[in-house]
Every structure is written in structure tokens, then in C-alpha cells.
Amino acid sequence: MAARLFISLLAIGLFGRGVPVKAQSAAEARHTVTIRVEETSQIELGEGAELTIDRGGTARETSTYTVLTNRSVAQSIGASIEVEDPPDGLTLQAEMQAPQASGTSTGAQILLEEGSVTSRTLVEEIGQLSQSGLEITYEATSTPEVSPGTYAINVVYTITEE
């Protein structure tokens, strides 16, 4: 008898009595919100620099940059030059201050020398951070043979994985 009662209760529990079951209201409900954070690395530059050199002299000028990266792999910042027909005797070097939280400056690097352009790494080992107001120092040198004039030199910065 007890076995029949158990089976009957089990059948009612599994199949119901044909009566629809209404959803129960609760004083509390939840949603799962999924947030995906994209990997990013960004560099933003302050105003450009304008250097005036006496023939055979040197001039220095400072600008600023902001760097942001949330990547787990160390990043580095490199610089390259875009210039049409650079004159022999004109040299440009750049140096970037490393972020305080992480990163190492490689010091002043020559980007343009004797009409030849090069790409250089200026900051290495940048970890996850966001920092602004960091300095970029440019130094230009001219030999007496450089003709007077204005030379527009684009310095292109890239932030990449090491």
C-alpha cells in the first residue's frame, strides 16, 4: 500500500494533474550582465614641436604624450620619420619619458641623420597603465652646410607588443 501511494505521488509530481503551473513571483529577481573589455593600446600626442636652429647649432623642444594600455603583454613605443628629401647635415633625435608605473626609456635616439631616416624604440616594457603628461624631447642639430629654410618632419609613433 505504501508503495502504491509513493508511485501515485511520484506520478502526480512528474506529470502534474493537467493543470498549468503559474510562475511564482518573488521579491527579488536577477539578470546576468556580461561585460567584455576589449584589449587596447593607445598613444596620444600633445602639440607638435617647432625648433629654430642657427646654422651649425642645436635646438631642443619638449612636447607631451599620453599612453594607455590594458594588454597583459608588455608594450613598446617606437618612432619613425616621414620626410621628403631630408637635407644632409640635419639631425633629429627624440627621447620619451617612460611612464612612472612601468616602462623603461631607451634614452635619446637619432631618427634622422645625414639624410637617412631610421625607426627606433623609445620606451620598452610598458605594462597595464594609463598616464598622461609624459614628456617627449626633440633635439635638432644643423651643420653649417644646411641651406636656410623650413623642413617639415613627421615623427610617427606606434605602440606594439614586445
Question: Per the structure block, which three cell numbers stand in for 71?
Answer: 594588454
Quote the radius of gyration of the chain (alpha carbons, Å): 32
Give the percent of the chain with pLDDT over 90: 71
Q: According to DSSP H, which parts of the chain are helical?
A: 2-15
**Is 94 part of any domain?**
yes
CB-side exposure of 59: number of CA atoms within 13 Å?
Answer: 12
**Is 150 part of any domain?**
yes
Q: What is the span of the domain harbouring residue 54?
A: 41-161
Q: Which residues pair with 44 in a beta bridge?
A: 66
**Is 28 part of any domain?**
no
Give 45-76 pLDDT, tens digit per residue: 999 999 999 878 999 999 999 999 999 999 99
pTM: 0.79
Mean pLDDT of 118-128: 97
Question: Per the structure block, which three cell numbers stand in for 52?
Answer: 629654430
Number of domains in the chain: 1
**Is 114 part of any domain?**
yes
Here the CATH number for the domain that contains residue 74 is 2.60.40
Q: Does the pLDDT of residue 21 top 50, yes or no?
A: yes
**Is 2 part of any domain?**
no
Q: Does the pLDDT of residue 23 top 70, yes or no?
A: no
Give the containing element (helix H, strand E) for 112.
Answer: strand 109-113
pLDDT score recorded for residue 55: 79
